Structure 1
Amino acid sequence: MTGFASGQGKIAGFSWQIDVRSVNNRGLDFRLRTPEWIEGLDNAARAHLQKLVSRGSIHANIRVVNDKKTSMGTTLDIASIVQSLEKIQMIETQAEELGVDLSPSKASDVLDLTLDNAEFVTNNEEIIFLKDELLKAFEGVVENFLSSRQTEGNELAKILTAQAKQIEMQITSATKLLPEREKRLKANFLEQLSTVLENVTEADPQRVAQELALLTIKADVTEELDRLKVHVKSFKQFLLQGAVIGRKMDFLMQELNREANTLCSKSQNSSLTAIGLELKVMIDQMREQVQNVE
């Protein structure tokens, strides 16, 4: 499910900006970027998100700038630049030894690393205070982020409810066709049986009755329609729960599609086949929407 939230502010001489966004994903994928010099911030922020989000590709960025140094102007001294270049060279050398291909470094990479070094704070108590305050700010942004996902979820629930009702209507239409279909199948069976008996001198009545019963059972689609009804009912109940239901809905989509396929293969009736194909289209459309559900 998609969502976005952003926030900014100031803490004890530091400016911060936090962005959290998500795009659809079948599983859970975190991509979190935090200042390396604030020890423990990455793990704490990641742990907080993992408690609240169970599906989606989540991108979060926490940016911190030292206003004191910014106000005085950041000086790109030779020593800082050399230090940054040495770090980049160390990474590239290690990657080459391990056979890992990296894209060529750019001047902007050196600049980013140099500025990050320039923002390093030596006061440990100040770092701890800054981390705690940033976590509070991060939790606030995440709350807004979850709210945006909930808003989208409410709209998505309306769409899925409407699609479920359309499937129910198709199931009802299919059920109404069964009596007439049964009559035609019975007439066909009797006609074929008469043809077979004309060419057979002896036939065991009990065996014939067994074969007819088997043919009737194989052609019966009542169970498929009943299972379709049950799956749709379960789907609607999941929508009302408002919990983490994405994976459960994925499973129901597979089962709905399985029953629709069986209905088409057993139909032996053009109208029932048309309904089965329409069901497959509707289920496929619903499955696309379910990919957005957490």
Structure 2
Amino acid sequence: MTASMTSFARVESSQDWGTLVWEIRTVNHRYLEPHFRLPDNMREIEPRLRDLLRKNLSRGKVECSLKITRSEGNSQINLNQALLHELNGALEAIGEIVSKAKRADALDILRWPGVLEQAETDIGLIHNDAVDAFENALKQVQESREREGAELKQFIVQRLEGIGKETAVVRKFMPDLLKAQREKITQRLSDAKVEIDQNRLEQELVFLAQKADVEEELDRLETHINEVTRVLNTKGAVGRRLDFLMQELNREANTLGSKAVGVEVTQSAVNLKVLIEQMREQVQNIE
């Protein structure tokens, strides 16, 4: 299924210990590039989160942020008594050696890492809740990407139909254009009253007709149209393949324009390039 690389999801989960909020934003990128903003005590689950991303997404820049709020019943503050005794002993030792050393006040001591201890729920439980909520957010991201991908697919299909119509127009006009070109050259030679070997003239006219013939380019355009249609209906990541096909379509349109022998073909070549460019811009956002 065609999926976009642009999406956003927000999931809030309330538990006995508090609440957590996941926000996931995804934008187009050549590869899968995840970025996590997690509280320090959640860093342990980051490998699990990255593994979930790799299993569900193939491309895109993905920004994931987690916010945790503890409930009042789980935010009781305790003092690390053992560490306080150690700090006090160290301060007394410093005072005996350095007579003018200032004693630290209570706030300074509270700022010392580890002095304040928060009565915490089992951190493993919070980790599991965070992973579960992340899976829910990731599911929302996928659903959103698939919805937008379906719209992008329809957009591309419409442009493919337009390309098909333009190739049909060129096929319709080419025989008359080649005939008119042949008659124009013959008439100019006749008006100039230039004597020329008829066999040589015929060879040159055939050569010019071959140079102006765009049958091969039209065939390749139709082949690429069929391939784009097939890829759009393929499961998995198809963005890179579609991007390559856009380049091939553009190549054929350029060749068609360079061989144009009439205003009708020139206009069709311009229309083709517009349609292909419109598709190319949208393909950049397909996973």
For 2:210 and 2:145, how far apart are their aligned partners in 1? 47
* Correspondence for 1:184 among 177, 180, 187: 180
Deviations 1:150-181 (A, max 9, x none): 11111221111111111111111111111101
Structure 2 SS opposite 1:22: strand
Residue 147 of structure 2 is aligned to residue 154 of structure 1: no
* Correspondence for 1:258 among 251, 267, 283: 251
RMSD between aligned residues: 3.2
Residue 287 of structure 2 is aligned to residue 291 of structure 1: no
Aligned-pair identity (%) = 33
* Correspondence for 1:143 among 120, 139, 143: 139
Paired positions, count: 256
TM-score (ref. length: structure 1)? 0.75
Residue 6 of structure 2 is aligned to residue 2 of structure 1: yes
Change (3 A) 1:253 1:81: farther
Residue type of the alignment partner of 1:225: L
Deviations 1:44-81 (A, max 9, x none): 111211221122221111222332477559xxx54565
Residue type of the alignment partner of 1:223: E
Residue type of the alignment partner of 1:133: D
Deviations 1:23-59 (A, max 9, x none): 2334332221122223431121112112211222211
Runs of 4+ in 1 over 6 A off after TM superposition: 117-123, 192-197
CA contact (8 A) 2:17 2:74 kept: no
Q: Equivalences for 1:16-165 in 2 at 5 Å?
A: 16-68=20-72, 78-79=108-109, 126-165=122-161
Residue 225 of structure 2 is aligned to residue 225 of structure 1: no
TM-score (ref. length: structure 2)? 0.77
Structure 2 SS opposite 1:237: helix
Residue 227 of structure 2 is aligned to residue 234 of structure 1: yes
How far the C-alpha of 1:230 sits from its partner, in A, is: 0.8
For 2:168 and 2:279, how far apart are their aligned partners in 1? 19
For 1:119 and 1:195, how far apart are their aligned partners in 2? 104
For 1:187 and 1:22, how far apart are their aligned partners in 2? 60
Please list every run of 5 or more consecutive structure 1 residues that lacks an aligned counterpart in the other structure.
84-116
Equivalent residue for 1:14? 18
Deviations 1:224-282 (A, max 9, x none): 11111111111112222243111111011111111111101001211110110111111
Residue type of the alignment partner of 1:260: A
How far the C-alpha of 1:145 sits from its partner, in A, is: 1.2
For 1:197 and 1:136, how far apart are their aligned partners in 2? 88
For 1:155 and 1:72, how far apart are their aligned partners in 2? 51
CA contact (8 A) 1:33 1:42 kept: no
Judge which range, 59-68 or 269-278, deviates more: 59-68
Residue type of the alignment partner of 1:137: A
For 2:72 and 2:124, how far apart are their aligned partners in 1? 18
Q: Which has the higher helix share?
A: 1
Change (3 A) 1:184 1:72: same
